[in-house]
Amino acid sequence: EAVAGGDVAEIQKRARAAARALDKAASDGVIHKNQAANRKSAVMSAAARSNSKKS
């Protein structure tokens, strides 16, 4: 809903929260660290795309 509403600050906040959660999952051994990096990259790319559309 943040993406649909175009709230850039909210998008960035949620992307950072997702990155933190992925890092924690990797450090706890839930997912492999490379998988966490790939997922973080996808999240950040999506956030950047939505930010560039709103600007």
Q: Bigger pLDDT: 52 or 4?
A: 52
How does pLDDT run across 45-54, given as a tens digit for each residue? 999 998 787 6
Report CA-CA distances (Å) from 15 to 10, 19: 8, 6
Mean pLDDT, to the nearest integer, of 37-42?
Answer: 98
Query: What is the spatial distance between Cα 12 and Cα 32, in angstroms, rounded to a whole number?
Result: 24
Q: What is the pLDDT, as a whole number, of residue 54? A: 61
pTM tops 0.75, yes or no: yes
Query: What is the spatial distance between Cα 49 and Cα 18, in angstroms, rounded to a whole number?
Result: 16
Query: What is the spatial distance between Cα 3 and Cα 40, in angstroms, rounded to a whole number?
Result: 17
Mean pLDDT, to the nearest integer, of 1-16?
Answer: 79
Question: Could you state, in order of their start, the residue ranges of all structural domains in the chain?
Answer: 2-54
Q: Helices marked H in the chain — which ranges?
A: 2-5, 8-27, 33-54
